[in-house]
């Protein structure tokens, strides 16, 4: 039987509660076999804006948080590929390894609005189906020309940007970020103003 697996790509710098809710809601509502959180190696659209935590550390945080959660898993496929991370290449690598799987690409509404800017967008538009979830502050419009399916989730107005700002301000992020992630952030001194 063909497995159906959702892919939620992200920088996860750091992973937060909304990432988990997105993955779980899509898993449940679409009856998928699994959702994989694909940790970007080098998110080319974000580079240059700020210092991004190493992909090895971001992967470790995601893997630690997901270890006890059934149905969700961390993927290192883009880290293994190396270089800049492009969804087109990620999907090709996954299909080579697991040819009998149907892959669905999950994006928040902000990412959906930018699909036309993705690497080899024409190919993705023709070949792929996307799952779009609502995100606070982002309009619910389906990107024209793309095959999309909408999944409504309980809205959570959380972002990694906000988490980093809270940590830099010395404020608590408990329950916004899994405990296992907080442990590693503390251990590594991530997002503190001095780091």
Find the shortest distance in angstroms from Cβ 70 to ligand ATP: 20
Find the shortest distance in angstroms from Cβ 76 to ligand ATP: 15
- Which of 49/100 has CB closer to ligand ATP? 49
Query: Exposed/middle/buried for 119, CB within 10 Å: 0-12, 13-18, 19+?
Result: middle
Find the shortest distance in angstroms from Cβ 40 to ligand ATP: 8
- End-to-end Cα distance, the chain: 49
Find the shortest distance in angstroms from Cβ 43 to ligand ATP: 8
Positions that interact with ligand ATP (CB under 6 A): 8, 10-13, 18-19, 22, 107-108, 110-111, 133, 135, 156, 158-161
- Which of 73/100 has CB closer to ligand ATP? 73
Helix, strand, or coil (residue 175):
coil
- Which of 6/10 has CB closer to ligand ATP? 10
Find the shortest distance in angstroms from Cβ 194 to ligand ATP: 20
- Which of 96/171 has CB closer to ligand ATP? 171
- Which of 160/180 has CB closer to ligand ATP? 160
- Tokens 């945080």 correspond to 61
Alpha helices in the chain (DSSP H): 17-29, 55-66, 77-81, 87-97, 109-113, 121-127, 160-168, 179-188
């Amino acid at each position: 039987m063909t497995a159906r697996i959702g892919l939620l790509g992200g920088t996860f710098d750091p992973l937060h509660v909304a990432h988990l809710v997105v993955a779980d809601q899509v898993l449940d509502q679409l009856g998928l076999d699994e959702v994989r959180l694909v940790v970007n190696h080098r998110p080319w659209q974000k580079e240059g804006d700020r210092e991004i935590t190493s992909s090895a550390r971001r992967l470790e945080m995601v893997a630690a948080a997901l270890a006890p959660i059934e149905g969700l898993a961390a993927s290192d496929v883009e880290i293994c590929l190396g270089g800049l991370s492009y969804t087109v290449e990620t999907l090709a690598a996954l299909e080579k390894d697991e040819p009998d799987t149907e892959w669905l690409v999950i994006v928040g509404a902000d990412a959906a609005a930018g699909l036309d800017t993705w690497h080899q967008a024409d190919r993705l538009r023709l070949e792929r189906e996307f799952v779009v979830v609502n995100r606070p502050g982002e309009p619910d419009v389906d990107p024209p020309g793309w095959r999309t399916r909408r999944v409504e989730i309980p809205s959570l107005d959380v972002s990694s940007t906000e988490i980093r700002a809270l940590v830099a301000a010395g404020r608590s992020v408990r329950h916004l970020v899994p405990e296992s992630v907080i442990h590693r952030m503390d251990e590594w001194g991530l997002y503190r103003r001095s780091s």
